[in-house]
Amino acid sequence: MKAKSLAIVDVLLIEPTVYGDDRGFFFESFNQAQFKAVVGRDVSFVQDNHSKSARGVLRGLHYQIKQPQGKLVRVVEGEVFDVAVDLRKGSPTFGKWVGEILSADNKRQLWIPAGFAHGFLVLSETAQFLYKTTDFYSPENERAIIWNDPTLSIHWPLDTMPILSGKDAVAPALRDAEVFNGSLDS
């Protein structure tokens, strides 16, 4: 596995070692010892999630104000533009974002530590998105930031309006959102 820091150094783009031949391919999608080596510390995952979405669906930007979740995300069908936004008050990259194309073909993964909002836009006809989390889903602590917040200025690869959930369509701007103040150990 290879990992590289992105413009926000705590967010890592992970590329697995893929072994392929005329029968197909094999790779380890997660190896705790290797993951610890690239992240630099132990990370425990407690929940795996799987979503399927159609072209143009934008999910996010989601986070939990308590029980913040670190996420290891990947795509097993299709292609998405995946985004992480730093919401850690006091961070030198607070309010900055990074984005990467993740696909079934490139097999890349993104490590998004706790303290970040996360979202993705489906670029293919459909996409199946898998992610591991470091804490459990907590609906009462879930928050969102509007996808097109002008202060974030995320460069979504869009040519039409995205398809949004009702709550994502009315999410607040960053300036009005509740963000992280405390310890983020995940």
- Which residues are catalytic, by number? 62, 131
The token duo for 114 is: 């706790």
Q: Distance between CA atoms of 152 and 150, rounded to whole angstroms?
A: 5
Sheet holding 126-133, edge to edge: 2-5, 12-15, 109-112, 71-77, 126-133, 47-54
The closest of 67, 80, 90 to 136, measured between CA atoms, is: 67
Number of H helices, E strands in the chain: 2, 13
Q: Distance between CA atoms of 17 and 73, rounded to whole angstroms?
A: 16
The closest of 3, 1, 10 to 31, measured between CA atoms, is: 1
